Structures are given as C-alpha cells and as structure tokens.
Amino acid sequence: MRWLLLVGAIVSEVTATLSLRAAVDHPGWYVLVVAGYGASFVFLAAVLKRQMPVGVAYGIWGASGVTATAILAAWLFGDALTWLMGAGIALVIGGVLIVEVGSQKAEESRARALADTDVPVGSERSR
C-alpha cells in the first residue's frame, strides 16, 4: 500500500509542477498547482506513516519527479532534454536505487538483531 501511496505523491507532484508551467500563461491552472502539491504532501505523509524510511521515500519521490517532469516538459512544452541531462537523470535514479538497497539491508540487519535478542518472559535473561 505504501508504494501505491508513493506513486500518488509522485503523480500529484509532477502534475502540480507541470500545471505551474501552464499557469504562467493561463492563471486558472493555479488551482491544480495548489491541489497537486497539497495532495502530494498528504500522500507522502501517509507513506511515512506506513514506516517507509524518509530517505528512501523522499529520494524516490524526488528522483521520479525530476525524471517525469523533465520528460513530460520536453514533450508538452518543448523544453530541452539533452543527452547530458539524461545522463544526470540516470545518475540520480541510480543513486536512489543504491539508497533503497542500503535501506533494505539495514532493515534486514535490524530484524535479525531483534530476533536474536527476543527472550521469552520468565527466562533467566529477563529477570
């Protein structure tokens, strides 16, 4: 469920950012800007409430937002998207993936440590 909520945060943030660009010429888009950013933070808070590490959630949210916004802005508004920008986006995504893998390893280590120290009530170690 937290991954679906994270997708909601990303989609609403990208929608708000692209709407901000559209609002420059058509102020009516500001309604979607405010709603999109508001929804994005509500979704992100729900993700964090479900125990996703903040570094992972924010990293994926940010990297996905940058990637989707750059690609969609090139398509919708004709913004430049050079190979060098693409390489930068790839590096950001790679960095976020490394953070996610590191987070999973830390969670596994913490779970093992808790399992090793789990002593039944009434045993010698709990007295």
Q: What whole-number distance in Å separates Cα of residue 14 and Cα of residue 18?
A: 6
| 21 or 114, greater pLDDT | 21
* Token code pair at residue 111: 């779970």
Considering only CA atoms, which of 66, 67, 47, 49 is closest in space to residue 57?
A: 47
**Chain position carrying tokens 């102020």:** 27
Q: What is the pLDDT of residue 100?
A: 80
**Chain position carrying tokens 């940058």:** 66
- pLDDT confidence band for 126 (50 / 70 / 90): very low
| 21 or 124, greater pLDDT | 21
Q: What is the mean pLDDT of residues 110-120?
A: 70
Q: What is the pLDDT of residue 59?
A: 87
The pTM of this model reads 0.76
Q: What is the mean pLDDT of residues 85-93?
A: 91
pLDDT digits (tens, 9 = 90+) for 38-70: 999 999 999 999 999 898 899 899 999 999 999
